[in-house]
Chains A and B, each alone.
Chain A
């Protein structure tokens, strides 16, 4: 049998279902690959060897018993460490949760288990999903498999790198401002942010509640769609979950793979193809646009002037919500507790715990958000940002009256060297310039590999109206059929 780790999830599932390989064999192959390369990549914070093999055995037993298996049964999945996993360490990339083993599973994790997928472990991330390079993980950076001296994007760099390094065929990420799509773009993998409310946030350790969206990561569009189908759908435990069925993203991906986009109108966001985007990224993007046109798509330019205000609005809304969401990390009930020597007051212990437990970027955002929500500043900052959010939503709505989907480069630049942007937060924030508007609007977005620039992957982003996730899968799969997938150099 050829290398199981090089296969797509679709291929693996077929082999397992057909009895040509076992889930245990597939799992062992991936665990071996992790053992071989992860000391260099550092995609994983925790590898759950026993749990993975147990889950694989259960799938094999079900198959042996003649039970019908789901479309992803026996396929390994790497899960971003932002999701609560029962009995399995969940740190959110932070020291403040070091050693915490949740007593419950996130809804998505439960759905993955129910579907017979095999969770390999938990992937590295910027602390509390705040960052665009995974350098802000309290447990050290993840390295981009395309060039180990470069960042794999963030915050979900671990999940993206695990895919690019063939440590897992599928991964789960979460996208608050681009944390699935931007790592996808810079690692040459596919990352989809579903419609907000289309995937359950229950068990997702919150960064910014009104923006956080868990979603699928894979090496192909169809694999991402299959994973999306498994994890998506209404969850009564999440009040903001949309009580509607998941759009048929799998059928859409299959339709797109036929390479026909006749009758599809695509809008290039004018504001995102100007200065500030690397020339190599622009070249790959332009070539992809030509490819899409050849597939029959009608291409127009659409101006969304308010998108220019997305970044500042985001950096008020997300920190504001985070300042409140992260208040619960106080050392009282779980996780790290510092300074409880019997002589210090509760307040001192809380302060010392938070001082020691949170990293610099998290503290920066808590401070920002606390300020923005303060009495007397609320209207000028948080209130104003919410108004901008409404305007951005209007721009999207207006655009989608003209086109079926919007397209842009996923991120202005390819993977940068580790350490290159940590000194200036603003330079780091720019990585999410093109992905943030979608989060503020709540619609779906996907990044699909569209070419290389100086040997590094470039991603194209497709944005669709809310609950029209299927549309972006169709376009992404069509592009994939035209430009193919991209394989990093051997590690």
Chain B
């Protein structure tokens, strides 16, 4: 079935979107949530396991204090209230990647509730209300072999890796976000980006979407103005910031086309496809699964000492929003300029580049110019472009030292992005150094003067502007590897003319 999607402008003119985000963050604790197994990414399947995370009969969980501390810090950073007493709960359902066939999670007693996160979108501040932040355990990973879709149905066998089982997972749930209109996709993206930055600043997770340490489910619905909220869908498999935005946009368009055709939205899970930018239906949620939640009897309640919570609150680092304001001042940027830095996801990159010795202006030029352009072309996040702040700083250092001119620096940067090595290495391997050896330059200048006697005469007679033609000739013979200013000075000097 092919349907023609309506134009986005028309959709947002007619409907009001409501979005909601559930974000899962794998904590970077040294050990798992209930046992002492390591949590590092990767590893041979089923090597980072023990009786506890395999759910062997008789084994028992013991809560990881570092994880409790981490979630309280996240809650505090998100302006949440921290429960003085709460419990874990069992969420019962059968699935082979769940060793116990129940997940230890939290149900009606989450550890952090009622917070908010302010995000900037298009120069406006949007407050995203946080409903709850709770702690649970991650599942193992299942690989379905032999089926057409890689899903369990149709597979001839399923392989399970429990290395990930029991890694502490924080779930952050927003309240429904209303009133963002056409900006809904951008708000969703900005929220996840801000959340990621906050959590990274806290140092409790590496929040890498591509490795799955930050995973996002996006709820979307549309309603006509003044009407009740529409039926929502939950889009899973949204693995990058860009995808968050695309998933919301695509789901808004899809739902609008269904509604326009007189259809109704099915409450269901949908899978986002990075390649097509579409979502396809997954599990229907019309018949709600009964997880038979009940308080986890194997764990004592969590009752964080208020004095400890106060201590954690006092020790929170400077959060990204405050930090950005400070940087904006330090870098002397207008709100608009800062916004473009933010939009490009370049704050930390520029900050690190500046820390490596580059001026803010130069650092911003590279990240927002050449590198952003490359990132857009290849559809990757700026941070994943392949150039590091240290390399950019090195590149600018070569420019400042007069070893590279602007044009050559861009070429070298291409090489860096393409993984050819450090700027210095690329400069050497591509033979790109500015010709500063005066002997060679003087020879090239003399050659150009000899080849263009008419122009040389004009210059001698005072038409200094004519020197440009000779500069061009020299640049040509040096294949652009000379500094134009130096060449010009040299020409005038050889012709005995004052500049």
A contact set with B: CB distance below 8 Å:
83-84, 90, 92, 97, 100, 102-104, 106, 201-206, 208-210, 236-240, 320-321, 323-324, 327-330, 332-334, 342, 346-347, 350, 370, 373-375, 378, 382
User: Which of A97, A103, A320, A346 has a CB less than 8 Å from the CB of B96?
Assistant: A346
How far, in whole Å, are A342 and B59 apart by their CA atoms in the complex?
31
Tell whether, in the assembled complex, residue B57 and residue A328 are in contact, meaning their CB atoms are under 8 Å apart: yes
Tell whether, in the assembled complex, residue A239 and residue B100 are in contact, meaning their CB atoms are under 8 Å apart: no
Residue in chain A with minimal CB distance to B152: A346
8 closest A-B pairs by beta carbon, nearest first, are A327-B101, A209-B297, A373-B292, A210-B297, A84-B58, A203-B58, A205-B57, A375-B290
Q: Cβ of B99 < 8 Å from any Cβ of A?
A: yes
Q: Cβ of B94 < 8 Å from any Cβ of A?
A: yes
Considering only residues 84-106 of chain B, those with a C-beta below 8 Å from chain A are: 90, 92, 94, 96, 99-102
Q: Cβ of B51 < 8 Å from any Cβ of A?
A: yes
User: Which of B99, B158, B288 has a CB less than 8 Å from the CB of A328?
Assistant: B99
Q: Cβ of B61 < 8 Å from any Cβ of A?
A: yes
Sample of 12 A–B contacts (CB below 8 Å): A90-B58, A104-B51, A206-B298, A209-B297, A328-B55, A328-B100, A328-B101, A330-B94, A332-B96, A333-B55, A342-B156, A350-B94
Q: Cβ of B224 < 8 Å from any Cβ of A?
A: no
Residue in chain B with minimal CB distance to A375: B290
How far, in whole Å, are A323 and B290 apart by their CA atoms in the complex?
14
Q: Cβ of B54 < 8 Å from any Cβ of A?
A: yes
B31 CB, min distance to chain A CBs, angstroms: 13
Tell whether, in the assembled complex, residue B60 and residue A324 are in contact, meaning their CB atoms are under 8 Å apart: no
Tell whether, in the assembled complex, residue B60 and residue A239 are in contact, meaning their CB atoms are under 8 Å apart: yes
Contacts A202-B60, A327-B92, A375-B292: A333 and B299 contacting too (C-beta < 8 A)? no
Q: Cβ of B450 < 8 Å from any Cβ of A?
A: no
Tell whether, in the assembled complex, residue A332 and residue B160 are in contact, meaning their CB atoms are under 8 Å apart: yes
Contacts A327-B94, A333-B54, A333-B99: A320 and B294 contacting too (C-beta < 8 A)? yes
Tell whether, in the assembled complex, residue A324 and residue B58 are in contact, meaning their CB atoms are under 8 Å apart: no
How far, in whole Å, are A382 and B51 apart by their CA atoms in the complex?
29
Most chain A CB within 10 A, of B57, B293, B298, is at B57
User: Which of B55, B60, B100 has a CB less than 8 Å from the CB of A238?
Assistant: B60
Residues from chain B with a CB closer than 8 A to the CB of A97 are 57
Main secondary structure of the interface of A (DSSP, over half): loop
Contacts A328-B100, A373-B294: A84 and B57 contacting too (C-beta < 8 A)? yes
Residues from chain A with a CB closer than 8 A to the CB of B63 are 239
Most chain B CB within 10 A, of A83, A104, A323, A333, is at A333
Q: Cβ of B56 < 8 Å from any Cβ of A?
A: yes
User: Which of A90, A204, A334, A374 has a CB less than 8 Å from the CB of B292?
Assistant: A374
How far, in whole Å, are A323 and B60 apart by their CA atoms in the complex?
17
Tell whether, in the assembled complex, residue B60 and residue A205 are in contact, meaning their CB atoms are under 8 Å apart: no
User: Which of A104, A236, A346, A370 has a CB less than 8 Å from the CB of B56?
Assistant: A104
Count the A-B residue pairs with Cβ separation under 8 angstroms: how many? 104
Known: A323-B292, A328-B99, A332-B160. 18 other contacts (CB 8 A): A84-B51, A84-B56, A84-B57, A90-B58, A104-B56, A201-B60, A202-B59, A210-B297, A238-B60, A324-B90, A329-B57, A330-B96, A346-B152, A350-B94, A375-B288, A375-B290, A378-B292, A382-B294
Most chain B CB within 10 A, of A236, A239, A334, A382, is at A239
Q: Cβ of B303 < 8 Å from any Cβ of A?
A: no
Residues from chain B with a CB closer than 8 A to the CB of A210 are 297
Contacts A324-B294, A346-B158: A330 and B58 contacting too (C-beta < 8 A)? no
How far, in whole Å, are A134 and B101 apart by their CA atoms in the complex?
28
Contacts A327-B102, A373-B292: A92 and B57 contacting too (C-beta < 8 A)? yes
Contacts A239-B63, A240-B298, A332-B160: A102 and B58 contacting too (C-beta < 8 A)? yes
Considering only residues 274-307 of chain B, those with a C-beta below 8 Å from chain A are: 288, 290, 292-294, 297-300
B425 CB, min distance to chain A CBs, angstroms: 51
Tell whether, in the assembled complex, residue A373 and residue B94 are in contact, meaning their CB atoms are under 8 Å apart: no
Q: Cβ of B178 < 8 Å from any Cβ of A?
A: no
Residue in chain B with minimal CB distance to A97: B57
How far, in whole Å, are A320 and B297 apart by their CA atoms in the complex?
11
User: Which of A92, A203, A209, A330 has a CB less than 8 Å from the CB of B101?
Assistant: A330
Considering only residues 143-157 of chain B, those with a C-beta below 8 Å from chain A are: 152, 156
Q: Cβ of B62 < 8 Å from any Cβ of A?
A: yes
Tell whether, in the assembled complex, residue A373 and residue B54 are in contact, meaning their CB atoms are under 8 Å apart: no
Residues from chain B with a CB closer than 8 A to the CB of A92 are 57
Tell whether, in the assembled complex, residue B62 and residue A236 are in contact, meaning their CB atoms are under 8 Å apart: yes
Residue in chain B with minimal CB distance to A383: B294
A336 CB, min distance to chain B CBs, angstroms: 12
